[in-house]
């Protein structure tokens, strides 16, 4: 009987834990969505050092070469994506397009980070201006 009530208690604690984790995810997602705004530049860093920044309002293609690795950055209609890469996993290509300030595409094997920067900070700032 005692074992049984303990098991029920554990099940309840499990559910609380699961719910808390999901709630945390939702809160984080909400916070990130509220504070996002369209960016002005795609900032490319390789190995932690700045490689270049490319304006998002001009459609272009840029090869990012680091040693023998290369990633192709494509900018079109205000969004940036990696359209080609010679890394083994192609996670950066599969990640698709980014356009909001703070979003990033990361190619771990090549240590290439594409990050959207600049632009309006948030909606509140825009009203004040």
Partner 1 sequence: MSAGRVARYALLIALALVLSYVELLVPLSVVVPGVKLGLPNLVIVFALYRLGARDAWIISLVRVVLVSVMFSNAFAMMYSICGTVLSLTLMSLLIKTGRFSTVGVSVAGGVAHNIGQILCAMLLLSTSRIAYYLPVLLVSGTLAGVLIGIASGLLVERVKTDPQR
Q: Is 108 helix (H, G, I), strand (E, B) or coil?
A: coil
Instruction: Please state whether 128 falls in left (phi above 0), alpha (psi between -120 and 50) or beta.
Output: alpha
Q: Which stretch binds partner 1 (CB under 8 A): 55-63, 73-81, 107-115, 121-129?
A: 107-115
**By the rule CB under 8 A, 26 interacts with partner 1:** yes
Task: Output the smallest distance, CB 16 to partner 1, in A.
Answer: 8
Q: In terms of CB distance, is 37 or 103 closer to partner 1?
A: 103
Spatial separation of the C-alpha atoms in residues 57 and 50, rounded to whole Å:
20
Q: Among 54, 106, 118, 120, indicate the residue that binds partner 1 (CB under 8 A).
A: 106
In 3D space, the residue among 65, 91, 95, 66 whose CA is nearest the CA of residue 80 turns out to be 95
**By the rule CB under 8 A, 110 interacts with partner 1:** no
Q: Among 84, 91, 118, 120, indicate the residue that binds partner 1 (CB under 8 A).
A: 91
In 3D space, the residue among 55, 67, 51 whose CA is nearest the CA of residue 113 turns out to be 51
Q: Among 35, 84, 95, 120, indicate the residue that binds partner 1 (CB under 8 A).
A: 95
**Residues of this chain that bind partner 1 (CB under 8 A):** 7, 9-11, 13-14, 17-18, 21-22, 24-26, 28-29, 32, 45, 48, 91, 94-95, 102-104, 106, 108-109, 111, 113, 115
């Amino acid at each position: 009987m005692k074992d049984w009530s303990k098991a029920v208690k554990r099940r309840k604690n499990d559910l609380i834990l699961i719910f808390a984790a999901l709630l945390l995810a939702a809160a984080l997602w909400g916070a990130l969505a509220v504070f996002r705004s369209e960016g002005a530049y795609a900032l490319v860093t390789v190995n932690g050092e700045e490689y270049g920044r490319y304006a998002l309002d001009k459609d272009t293609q840029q090869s990012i070469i680091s040693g023998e690795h290369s990633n192709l950055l494509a900018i079109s209609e205000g969004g940036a994506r990696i359209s080609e890469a010679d890394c083994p996993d192609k996670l950066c290509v599969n990640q698709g397009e980014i356009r909001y300030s703070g979003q990033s595409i990361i190619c771990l094997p090549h240590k290439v980070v594409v990050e959207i920067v600049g632009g309006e900070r948030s909606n509140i700032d825009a009203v004040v201006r």
